Structure formats: structure tokens, C-alpha cells
Chains A and B, each alone.
Chain A
Amino acid sequence: MIKILVKFIGRPYNATNKRHVWIYFDSHDEVTLRDLLNKIEVEIGVRFDVGKEGIIALINGRNAHYMGGLNANLKDLDEVIIASVAGGG
């Protein structure tokens, strides 16, 4: 079994009304960010278009864009943050 901690920040939090969830995969097969987003949609009912409208996914802090995007591999106990971002300074 693979379990992933998913945190929702900003608009994703407002969309789900959840701060975090654990998402479980009943296999040791390869799990990708796409699989995770699909499962979130099934279990929570919200679809996130990562990479659009300011929605990003960080896998252990690293922007998924640099890890293969939706094809980025996830492993057991990874932490994925789905967030809307804006500038700081």
C-alpha cells in the first residue's frame, strides 16, 4: 500500500474545505501525480488542474513541473501540497 499526505492551501482549501487528507493506493505499482489527482476527484469530488489558474502541486516542496508534471512519480509517505500561489515580497 502507498499512502500520500495531501494538503490543500488557499483556493484548493476553500474548494475542499479540508486542510489535509491521506490518499491510499492499494498496490505497490507506480503512482503518479495524475493518479493522485484522479483519486482526489473520486474521493473528494474536486478536480484540480495543476499548472493552470495559479494552481501548483509541490511534491515534498518541489514543484511537480520539474519532476515530470502529471507524470511525476509518487512514493509512500510523500507529501503533496496543492496550492494557489501569489507573489510575495
Chain B
Amino acid sequence: MRLYGYAGKILRINLSKKSYAVEPLKDSLIKHFIGGRGFGIKILWDELPANIDPLSPENKIVVSVGPLTGTKVQSASRWVAQFKSPLTGIYCRSVGGGYFGAELKFAGYDAIIVEGKAEKPTYIWIHDDNVEFRDASKVWGLTTLFTRDIILDETDKRAKMIMIGPAGERLVKISAIVTDDWRTAGRGGGGAVMGSKGLKAIVVRGSKRPEIYDDQTLSDAVNEQIKAYREWPAVPPADFRRLGTNTGTYVWYFMGNFPTYNFQQREWDGIERFRPEILESYIIGHKGCYACAMQCGKIFKITNGPYGGIAWDFPELETEWSFGGIVGVNNIEAITYANMLCDLYGLDTISTGVAIAFAVELCEKSIIDKTETDGLELNWGKPEIVVELVRRIALRIGNLGNLLAEGVRRAAEIIGRGSERYAMHIKGLEMPAYDPRAMKGQGLGLVTGTIGASHAISWNKFEILGVPKKADPLAIEGKAELTKYVQDEMAVCETAVFCKLIVNHDVVNPVFYSRVLYSATGIEEFKDPKYLWKVGERIWNLERLFNVREGIDGKYDILPERFLKEPHPRNPAKGQIFELEPLLKDYYRVRGWDEQGIPTKEKLAELEIP
């Protein structure tokens, strides 16, 4: 079959043997899983034995792109890293942006599978058909900024790369994979998996371009897409382009999200510093990913105070929260600085902030004291503590830094003394900036997320933005259906790999995806949006099966008891708790799963999962 849209090849790299092989894309893989996230879960399902140690050579990292990556389709050139997570012990998918995805496609690959463990620090240099194993000793131990500059000097200044910083090298469980332009695949500890393999970076440069099946039809659809980016009436993208995810920060708080003080949710005057016009005053530049007219990335310039002298990728909404509201800090300069440190060291900003908040609450509740914090006085609202702990976690400095580097679930297990009550995670993955008590569908998405508490794979646009139709955030009726909808939709859209933010606005959905996908590939089945929905459901179910194989079934669809027993103390969710049992029961029914939350044989047959 002649392939359009795809590069048609998978690159398999074995670090132990310093060998590689180029494998053709199989027709069945394309038809059943399309690309990106679909490829990754299928490969992990087929190739990873159950119960392996995520930090052993047996684990694999699949880095993949999709059939639209590197084409003119907007916001579709992201890349996905998939692996068994050392943080959660289950499946993980983490997505990054920038230009690496397109460059990988230009080099001629739809996916890279990394296996084994290098004898000494290594980086992989891929330039078209050439694959080299290069000594990374010179850059081992360096932050991502120095790593990037040195490696691009050694290879090609036009190359694109993903890499780890000192946190990944030290096997910090909340470490990230970072691109050369600081677009981070943060969640789940992918940095540690690369670190465990002695893999510092993957560098690519390509000269090929994907062939398009029907370029005129694709161009017409893309022109409509760009027009929609300017004129979408329901949620005008102009607002989003102006300030990116920061557009929502202030309003999030008043909707009952942006949880304060480690989800204790006390009123917080500090939110006034997060008004859009204040955040906008820090912007000195705009940036975006390959082929994306949205350009939602911003450069913040910080000149005043102890964090002055930097211009860096701005903190996204989640990071403004994780180094802001959850720790009671309203110092934008410090938050931007902490965000920069995370990019340099290679840390997930969400998990890092939640880990710090966990430690502060343990001090507040007198569960730990200064003897266990290496002398640090932990209090709410202390930016200097946040910045210092980012450094200590990344470098595993001291008792507390080393402890929090394990993530809150493991840290609570080690500390004991009831500390687990304050460890805000689901299945080991730290919570994002949403409160399940304030948005029930969003909460159900978090509790059933196939990687743990991820807002990204289950963003309930019905509740949050009211698209494609409005749903009352405080109601529980009908939320199972809406949760399945957004989960399956995001799963299939991440086969492209589309950006979640544009899917969240409902500008891109399976109807639009099927148009551009068929135009790009010419594959008949992809003409039908219903076919795409089924692929999304197939991916979600296979991700669930991966976890079930690891022993993680419905018993683990739980969330911190704070959400079940402590009523939300502020408007608009005052008095609300999260109604786990009825929501979950309905969700299993809608999913066609049994009472243990396991996909039934009938469901698997329907989805053609053998």
C-alpha cells in the first residue's frame, strides 16, 4: 500500500546493543490506531511484559508522531512519549510541542522505540537515514540549556531535540522530557526513564516531507481551520492567542478550581495578582509550535526583585497554580523563576508544586518539623521556599528534596503518620489545578484517567467552556457520558498529534479530523468520523487494559479523601463533596465495563481488541 501522510517507518533503537533497525509501518497498526498515542499504547501493550521495573532496561519509551505531523494542518505536530511510569507504576502518555515532532517526521519516521540501557551516557543523533550513538559524557550533569547548546554545536544547529536535565539523570520520579525550545512532556517521570537508560537526548534533522494524498482539499480545510482560529464564535481564539492558558487563570479560581493551600481551598486574596492585564504586562514575545497559527506561548520578562534578570517561557496556567495558589504564593516573578528552573533541571511543574504543597501542609499539621526538612521553615506563601525546593528536588539534595523527588504517594508511604491524607494524587500522579468537588465531570475524568490524575486527557469542555454544549459543573447526571466523550475524543485527536488546547475549544474535533486525515492519507476508513470515535475508544480501552494487566483495576479508581469528606469551603461549590460511587458506577456502565472496572469480553470484541 502506498502511504500518504505517513513516513512509513518506525525506528527501533537498542541502547544495550548500540544497534538499530528500521521497521515498516504495518497496515493493521495504521488502520486500528492511526498514529501518535494510538501507536504508542499498541506497541507497549504488545511488547512490555507485565510487572517490569519501570527503571529497568526492560522498559521502553515510544516517541511517536502522527499522519498530520509535519503537514500544513494547524496544531497537529506535537509528539507523544509513552512508557511505563516510574511514578505511578502504570501506563503513561506525556505530550510535548515545539518543532521536534515535525523534524522527526522529516527525518522519515513515524515513531522511535527506545529499548535497553546504554553502557555510558549516550545521545542519539538521527539525520535522515543515519543513526549514530554518541557519547553524552560531556553533557551528562548539565541543565537542558547547556546540553542543548553543546549538542547542537556537535551535530547541526538546525536540528531539534528532546532531552533530560539533572533531574532525569538522578531518576527523580517527577522528572520531565524537555525540547530544545522548552516545550515539555512533563507528566509521569519520562525523564527518569530516559535517565535510567543513560539516554541524555534524541536529536533529529530531516530533509524529507510527507506526501499528501489530496493537497487541494487539505489546503481548503486548513484555510477553514485558520479562519476558525480567528473567528470561532463560541470561545474566540483571539483571547487565547493573546495570553495563552493564562487567559483562564483568574476565572479558574472563581469557578472553584485553582485549588489553594494543597486543596484546602481557603479564600485567597492573592488571586488578584493573576488578573489577565497584570500577567500580560510581563509579555515581551510570543511563540508557538510547528504549523500553529495560535502562537499561545509567551515569553515573560522579569526585571524586578530577587528573581530579576530573566526572560523565559511563561508559566502556563497549571504552573501558575502549582507554584502559586496551591502553595499560597502570588509572586509572579518567583513563579516564572521556578518554572524556568523546572525547564532547566527537567521537572514536571505540576507534580513538583503539589509535592511542595504536600510538605508545607505536613508542617502545618505538625506531622513533620524542621528536623525532617533540613532546617527549612515551611510555610504558605513563601516564594523563596518554593524556588529552593525546586532545586533540592531536582538535584535530590537533603532529606526533604530526596523524599519529594519520589512524588507524593511514595513520600507519604515513607513518612507515614497519617501523611497520606495530604498526598494529593490519583494512582500516584499528582493532581492538576481542578477540584473534583467543583466540577463533577472533570473530577470523574481525573479519577478514571488512564495515567492517573491528568486533566490533559480528560478535559471536560462541556463544564468548563460550555462547548459543544453547556453542562452544569455541579450536577452528576449525565456526566459519565460526557466524560467518555472527552476521553475518547482526546485519545483519537492525539493520534494526529493534535494539541489538546485546540480540541478543548472544540475547533478541532473528530468531524474536522476525519476531513483532514482522509485528505492527507487517502485511507477510505478515515473518511468516517464514527470510525475515528471508535479508534479513540479502542485506545482508551487498551490503555485501561494495560493497567489492569499491572493489577490496577477499579479498586484504584479512588481519589484523596479530602474530596470525599471535606466539603468545598468556598463559592460556587460551597458545601460540595465528590460523589464518587454513583459517578463511577454510571461510568463503568457507559464504558461497557464490569463492576470491577474491567472492559468486558463483549466490549473488547466490539472494539476488535484481541
| Residue positions of A touching B, CB distance < 8 A | 9-11, 13-14, 19, 52-54, 56, 58, 60-63, 65-66, 81, 83-89
Contact of B459 with A65 in the complex, beta carbons under 8 Å = no
Given A9-B275, A63-B466, output 12 extra A-B contacts at Cβ < 8 Å: A10-B276, A11-B239, A52-B233, A56-B466, A61-B256, A61-B572, A61-B573, A63-B470, A63-B473, A85-B247, A87-B235, A87-B464
Q: Which of B82-90, B499-507, B551-559, B579-587 contacts A (4 or more CB under 8 A)?
A: B499-507
Q: Is B285 an interface residue (CB 8 A)?
A: no
| Given A85-B247, A87-B504: A60 and B572 interface contact (C-beta under 8 Å) | yes
Q: Which of these, A13, A63, A65, contacts B276 with CB under 8 Å?
A: A13
CB-contacts of B485-542 with A (<8 A): 500-501, 504-505
Residue of A nearest to B467 (CB): A87
Measured CB to CB, the closest approach of chain A to B148, in angstroms, equals 26
How many Å lie between the Cα of A53 and that of B466 in the bound state? Answer: 12
- Which residues in A have their C-beta under 8 angstroms from that of B239? 10-11, 54, 84-86
Contact of A86 with B275 in the complex, beta carbons under 8 Å = no
Contact of A81 with B254 in the complex, beta carbons under 8 Å = yes
Contact of B240 with A87 in the complex, beta carbons under 8 Å = yes
- Which residues in A have their C-beta under 8 angstroms from that of B295? none
Residue of A nearest to B255 (CB): A61
Measured CB to CB, the closest approach of chain B to A78, in angstroms, equals 10
Residue of B nearest to A14 (CB): B277
How many Å lie between the Cα of A13 and that of B278 in the bound state? Answer: 11
| Given A13-B277, A61-B256, A89-B501: A81 and B251 interface contact (C-beta under 8 Å) | yes
How many Å lie between the Cα of A58 and that of B501 in the bound state? Answer: 23
Residue of B nearest to A61 (CB): B572
How many Å lie between the Cα of A85 and that of B456 in the bound state? Answer: 18
| Given A10-B239, A85-B235, A89-B455: A58 and B461 interface contact (C-beta under 8 Å) | no
Q: Which of these, B248, B433, B570, contacts A87 with CB under 8 Å?
A: B248
Q: Is B373 an interface residue (CB 8 A)?
A: no
Measured CB to CB, the closest approach of chain B to A20, in angstroms, equals 10
Q: Which of these, A19, A61, A81, A86, contacts B247 with CB under 8 Å?
A: A86
How many Å lie between the Cα of A24 and that of B427 in the bound state? Answer: 50
Contact of A53 with B251 in the complex, beta carbons under 8 Å = no
Measured CB to CB, the closest approach of chain B to A88, in angstroms, equals 4
| Residue positions of B touching A, CB distance < 8 A | 233-237, 239-240, 243, 245, 247-252, 254-256, 275-277, 316-318, 433, 455-456, 459, 461, 464-466, 470, 472-474, 500-501, 504-505, 570-573
Contact of A89 with B251 in the complex, beta carbons under 8 Å = no
Contact of A89 with B500 in the complex, beta carbons under 8 Å = yes
- Which residues in A have their C-beta under 8 angstroms from that of B433? 88
Contact of B254 with A86 in the complex, beta carbons under 8 Å = no
Contact of B572 with A65 in the complex, beta carbons under 8 Å = no
- Which residues in B have their C-beta under 8 angstroms from that of A60? 571-572
How many Å lie between the Cα of A34 and that of B121 in the bound state? Answer: 66
A-B contact pairs, 27 of them (CB 8 A): A9-B275, A10-B247, A19-B275, A52-B233, A53-B236, A56-B251, A58-B255, A61-B254, A61-B255, A61-B256, A63-B255, A63-B466, A63-B473, A66-B470, A81-B251, A83-B251, A84-B239, A85-B235, A85-B248, A86-B237, A86-B239, A86-B243, A86-B245, A87-B464, A87-B504, A88-B248, A89-B455
Q: Which of these, B237, B256, B318, contacts A89 with CB under 8 Å?
A: B318
How many Å lie between the Cα of A13 and that of B245 in the bound state? Answer: 18
How many Å lie between the Cα of A50 and that of B316 in the bound state? Answer: 27
Measured CB to CB, the closest approach of chain A to B60, in angstroms, equals 27
Contact of A85 with B254 in the complex, beta carbons under 8 Å = no
Residue of B nearest to A87 (CB): B504
Residue of A nearest to B463 (CB): A63
| Given A9-B251, A58-B251, A65-B466: A87 and B236 interface contact (C-beta under 8 Å) | no
Contact of B275 with A61 in the complex, beta carbons under 8 Å = no
- Which residues in B have their C-beta under 8 angstroms from that of A58? 251, 254-255, 572
Contact of B571 with A86 in the complex, beta carbons under 8 Å = no
- Which residues in A have their C-beta under 8 angstroms from that of B247? 10, 84-86, 88
Contact of B236 with A84 in the complex, beta carbons under 8 Å = yes
- Which residues in B have their C-beta under 8 angstroms from that of A19? 275
How many Å lie between the Cα of A58 and that of B464 in the bound state? Answer: 12
| Given A9-B276, A10-B239: A85 and B318 interface contact (C-beta under 8 Å) | no
- Which residues in A have their C-beta under 8 angstroms from that of B459? 87, 89
How many Å lie between the Cα of A62 and that of B472 in the bound state? Answer: 9
How many Å lie between the Cα of A54 and that of B245 in the bound state? Answer: 15
How many Å lie between the Cα of A22 and that of B307 in the bound state? Answer: 36
| Given A9-B276, A10-B247, A62-B571: A88 and B236 interface contact (C-beta under 8 Å) | no
How many Å lie between the Cα of A60 and that of B570 in the bound state? Answer: 9
- Which residues in B have their C-beta under 8 angstroms from that of A63? 255, 466, 470, 473
How many Å lie between the Cα of A63 and that of B475 in the bound state? Answer: 13
- Which residues in B have their C-beta under 8 angstroms from that of A66? 470, 472, 474
How many Å lie between the Cα of A86 and that of B255 in the bound state? Answer: 13
Closest A-B pairs by Cβ, 4 of them: A61-B572, A62-B572, A86-B240, A88-B248
- Which residues in B have their C-beta under 8 angstroms from that of A85? 235, 239, 247-248, 251, 465
Measured CB to CB, the closest approach of chain B to A66, in angstroms, equals 5
- Which residues in B have their C-beta under 8 angstroms from that of A9? 250-251, 275-276
How many Å lie between the Cα of A84 and that of B472 in the bound state? Answer: 18
Measured CB to CB, the closest approach of chain A to B78, in angstroms, equals 13
Contact of B233 with A53 in the complex, beta carbons under 8 Å = yes
Contact of B235 with A86 in the complex, beta carbons under 8 Å = yes
Q: Which of these, A11, A62, A89, contacts B456 with CB under 8 Å?
A: A89
- Which residues in B have their C-beta under 8 angstroms from that of A11? 239
Looking at B276, B317, B500, which has the most chain A CB atoms within 10 Å of its CB?
A: B276
How many Å lie between the Cα of A61 and that of B271 in the bound state? Answer: 14
Residue of A nearest to B249 (CB): A88
| Given A61-B254, A66-B472: A89 and B504 interface contact (C-beta under 8 Å) | yes
Measured CB to CB, the closest approach of chain A to B201, in angstroms, equals 26
How many Å lie between the Cα of A42 and that of B570 in the bound state? Answer: 32
Residue of A nearest to B505 (CB): A87
Measured CB to CB, the closest approach of chain B to A21, in angstroms, equals 15
How many Å lie between the Cα of A50 and that of B604 in the bound state? Answer: 45
Residue of A nearest to B461 (CB): A87
